[in-house]
């Protein structure tokens, strides 16, 4: 997961211009649906301070096939996500369940988060009292962040089993910046909050009611799948904080603003044993990328790319989502068509697969949320 601070140039991948439709909300929620079409048994769940819910009695294990780590990937049949939105937030659990919701954290209206388990149809995961900022999931819980709270919901019972006050979020003049991001890793929930040019990363213990604990503050951050926090310190050094508390300090990142939005490096992503750092040119979409070894922070490689690139750590290896028109090797079976490529730390890409009007790529089981131009809503497309 990557955290964008206020200086980061944003790609067009998330800027899907759709209108959020009104949803008729009931004060209930359910856990992920089974991959089959058979009905599930539900029972009333214990009431909480913010929601009440009904839940299926068990969460099924994933029925998804193993994903190849080399060679071409295939895009599966689209699975409808029955909502429309200007922006989408999505997350995937280790067992392949994908959660998605409209991202509208300043909205006072109730919101619905959806889940796709295996290749089954989308089902309601939770009803949330206000707009949603970010999602995360592990094998035990599904997590929802708003601008005021973080909620945990059991994936077995559907009951709310945790609630923590969100660290202060300043949404003033935030435009469309992602001020909050969240990931579940190493038995914890890591919440990142952007305030101006500073990113603060907090740790939540799902088994405790203790307030979120500040781990690091920096000029940008990305979270590894093992819970390591990679960030740019105030002195511009690349650094990492391991879950056990150990730290490593690496090279100084470039910080010579050219007045055009360039001359500054940003910590973007962690994937394939590498930390991906970008430096936008400042005009257009061009950017220079440098990769660092996730263990030692030694330089691995550098290459030219675009600010629209989004690298994700998946069971298939590191994959990159490129916006439509950014690569001549992207198949154009549909228009507009984004592409997913395999990518190595030196920027070499291979095995492109066209995925339509993509919004976001998630892992570990690679899947893409795409805009469905026929319905005005969204689809989930899995890669295998």
Q: What confidence tens digit (pLDDT) does each residue in 234-286 have?
A: 999 999 999 999 999 999 999 988 877 788 999 999 999 999 999 998 877 88
Hey, which residues does 3 pair with through a beta bridge?
221
Q: Is residue 261 part of a domain?
A: yes
* Rounded CA separation 247/228 (Å): 9
Strands 367-372 and 358-362: antiparallel
Q: What is the DSSP string of 249-302?
A: EEEEPPB---SSS-SB-EEEEEETTEEEEEEE-SSTTEEEEEEEETTT--EEEE
Residue 12 pLDDT > 60:
no
Q: Is residue 306 part of a domain?
A: yes
- Tokens in use for 334? 């549909």
Q: Express as a percent the part of the chain with pLDDT over 90.
A: 68
pLDDT at residue 2, as a whole number: 55
Domain CATH code at residue 279: 2.130.10.10
- Backbone φ and ψ of 156, nearest 5°: -90, -50
Tokens 């009695």 belong to 57
Q: Is residue 66 part of a domain?
A: no
Q: Is residue 63 part of a domain?
A: no
Q: Is residue 64 part of a domain?
A: no
Range of the domain at 215: 2-58+73-382
**Are 231 and 248 spatial neighbours (Cβ–Cβ below 8 Å)?**
no
Q: Is residue 195 part of a domain?
A: yes
**Are 101 and 114 spatial neighbours (Cβ–Cβ below 8 Å)?**
yes
Q: Is residue 80 part of a domain?
A: yes
Q: Is residue 22 part of a domain?
A: yes
Q: Is 150 helix (H, G, I), strand (E, B) or coil?
A: strand
* Rounded CA separation 96/64 (Å): 7
- Tokens in use for 299? 């330089």
Number of separate domains in the chain: 1
Please provide the average confidence, as pLDDT, over all residues in the chain. Answer: 83
**What is the maximal distance between C-alpha atoms in the chain?**
60
Q: Is 169 helix (H, G, I), strand (E, B) or coil?
A: coil
| For the chain, the helix, strand and coil percentages under 3-state DSSP, each to the nearest 5 | 0, 45, 55
Residue 62 pLDDT > 90:
no
* Rounded CA separation 367/130 (Å): 27
pLDDT at residue 216, as a whole number: 97
What's the pLDDT tens digit per position in 161-206?
999 999 999 887 565 568 999 999 999 999 999 998 899 999 999 9
* Rounded CA separation 330/336 (Å): 11
pLDDT band for position 67 (cuts 50, 70, 90): very high
Cis peptide before 320 (omega within 30 of 0): no
Give the global pTM: 0.84
Lowest mean pLDDT among 75-89, 125-139, 166-180, 251-265: 166-180
pLDDT at residue 257, as a whole number: 85
């Amino acid at each position: 997961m990557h955290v964008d601070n206020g200086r980061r140039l944003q790609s067009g991948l998330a800027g899907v211009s759709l209108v959020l439709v009104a949803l008729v909300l009931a004060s209930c929620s359910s856990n992920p649906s089974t991959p089959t079409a058979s009905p599930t048994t539900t029972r009333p769940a214990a009431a909480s301070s913010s929601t009440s819910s009904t839940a299926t009695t068990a969460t099924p294990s994933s029925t998804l096939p193993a994903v190849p780590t080399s060679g071409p990937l295939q895009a599966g049949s689209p699975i409808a996500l029955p909502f429309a939105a200007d922006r989408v937030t999505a997350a995937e659990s280790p067992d392949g369940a994908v959660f998605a919701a409209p991202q509208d954290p300043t909205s006072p209206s109730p919101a619905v988060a959806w889940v796709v388990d295996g290749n089954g149809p989308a089902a309601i995961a939770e009803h949330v009292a206000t707009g949603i900022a970010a999602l995360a999931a592990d094998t035990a819980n599904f997590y929802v962040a708003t601008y005021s709270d973080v909620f945990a919901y059991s994936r077995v019972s559907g009951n709310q089993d945790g609630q923590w006050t969100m660290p202060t979020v300043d949404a003033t003049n935030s435009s469309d910046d992602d001020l909050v991001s969240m990931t579940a890793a190493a038995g914890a929930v890591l919440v990142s909050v952007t305030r101006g040019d500073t990113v603060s990363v907090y740790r939540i213990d799902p088994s405790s009611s203790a307030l979120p604990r500040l781990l690091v503050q920096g000029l940008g951050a990305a979270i590894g799948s093992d819970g390591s926090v990679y960030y740019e310190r105030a002195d511009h050094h690349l650094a990492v904080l391991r879950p056990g508390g150990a730290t490593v300090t690496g090279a100084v990142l470039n910080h010579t603003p050219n007045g055009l939005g360039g001359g500054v490096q940003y910590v973007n992503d962690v994937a394939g044993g590498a930390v991906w750092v970008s430096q936008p040119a400042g005009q257009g979409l061009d950017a220079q990328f440098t990769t660092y070894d996730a263990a030692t922070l030694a330089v691995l490689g550098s290459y030219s790319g675009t600010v629209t690139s989004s690298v994700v750590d998946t069971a298939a290896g590191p994959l990159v989502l490129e916006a439509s028109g950014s690569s001549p090797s992207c198949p154009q079976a549909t228009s507009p068509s984004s592409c997913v490529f395999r990518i190595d730390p030196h920027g070499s890409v291979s095995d492109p697969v066209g995925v339509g009007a993509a919004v976001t790529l998630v892992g570990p089981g690679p899947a893409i949320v795409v805009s469905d131009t026929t319905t005005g809503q969204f689809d989930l497309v899995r890669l295998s």
